[in-house]
């Protein structure tokens, strides 16, 4: 069945939003989505977002107006899926707390910056969002997130690795991949993907493929897990 997806890309250029959006669009097209990629947030207020089965934010930082945010919140609540990665979903619109509420978390730090080698640990290899995936290593930013306790965690990473004042708190397992609901809509997040090179990793491509198809609009389904 063909579905419709919207990617809105932009924000901080260090995350290579255009290149990442192109990779994500390619994954979606392989899964029979018709994809609309836009580089303006005005699309959120000018189009009927409920016509999309999936919306993919790829916009780090930046500012969103109430006129742009409200249609997005309402579309997801009505059943449109939301899925994204790294700062494109987890560090968008820092002043928009309701957006963060919907997303399930917000980036707050990456100790060690982009030179940290860390393990992504898959929690349940039988779950549809992680089936067939084993634990793997990444050398990139290790995202420390403030996370909604309501999310369903699918993969984690262990902190601390890099030095910093957070070390005095001891070891913690930080969510890397999670899912949740927002009204009738499904929300999927993966913290990997600092630049296009990381997004192209086979494991990240697989995670996003599974996340996109899972989050896209479903009819008459209940529950998240």
Region 51-80: what's the mean pLDDT? 98
Q: Could you tell me if residue 224 is inside a domain?
A: no
Q: What CATH number is given to the structural domain containing 52?
A: 3.40.50.880
Q: Could you tell me if residue 223 is inside a domain?
A: no
Burial of 151 (0-12, 13-18, 19+ CB in 10 A): buried
Region 11-22: what's the mean pLDDT? 98
Structure tokens given for 107: 């980036």
d(CA 32, CA 151): 28
Q: How many domains does the chain have?
A: 1
Q: Could you tell me if residue 193 is inside a domain?
A: yes
Alpha-helical regions (H) of the chain: 17-30, 42-46, 66-77, 86-90, 97-103, 196-199, 202-215
Residue-wise pLDDT tens digits, 81-121: 999 999 999 999 999 999 999 999 999 999 999 999 999 99
The whole model's pTM is what? 0.97
Query: What are the angstrom distances between the C-alpha of 195 and each of 13, 77, 83, 185?
Result: 10, 30, 17, 28
Structural domain boundaries, residue 11: 3-215
d(CA 66, CA 88): 19
């Amino acid at each position: 069945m063909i579905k419709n997806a919207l990617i809105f890309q932009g924000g901080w250029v260090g995350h290579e939003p255009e290149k990442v959006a192109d990779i994500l669009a390619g994954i979606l097209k392989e899964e029979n989505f018709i994809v609309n990629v836009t580089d303006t947030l005005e699309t959120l207020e000018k189009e009927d977002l409920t016509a999309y089965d999936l919306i993919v934010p790829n916009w780090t930082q930046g500012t969103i107006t109430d006129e742009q945010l409200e249609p997005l919140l309402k579309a997801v609540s009505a059943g449109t899926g939301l899925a994204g990665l790294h700062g494109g979903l987890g560090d968008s619109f820092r002043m928009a707390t309701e957006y963060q509420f919907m997303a399930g978390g917000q980036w707050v730090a990456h100790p060690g910056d982009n030179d940290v080698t860390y393990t992504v640990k898959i929690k349940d290899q039988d779950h549809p969002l992680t089936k067939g995936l084993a634990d793997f290593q990444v050398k990139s930013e290790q995202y420390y997130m403030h996370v909604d306790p309501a999310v369903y965690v699918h993969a984690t990473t262990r902190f601390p690795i890099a030095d910093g004042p957070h070390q005095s708190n001891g070891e913690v397992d930080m969510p890397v991949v999670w899912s949740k609901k927002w009204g009738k809509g499904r929300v999927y997040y993966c913290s990997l993907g600092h630049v296009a090179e990381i997004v192209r990793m086979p494991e990240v491509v697989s995670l996003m493929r599974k996340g996109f198809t899972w989050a896209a609009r479903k009819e008459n389904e209940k529950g998240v897990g």
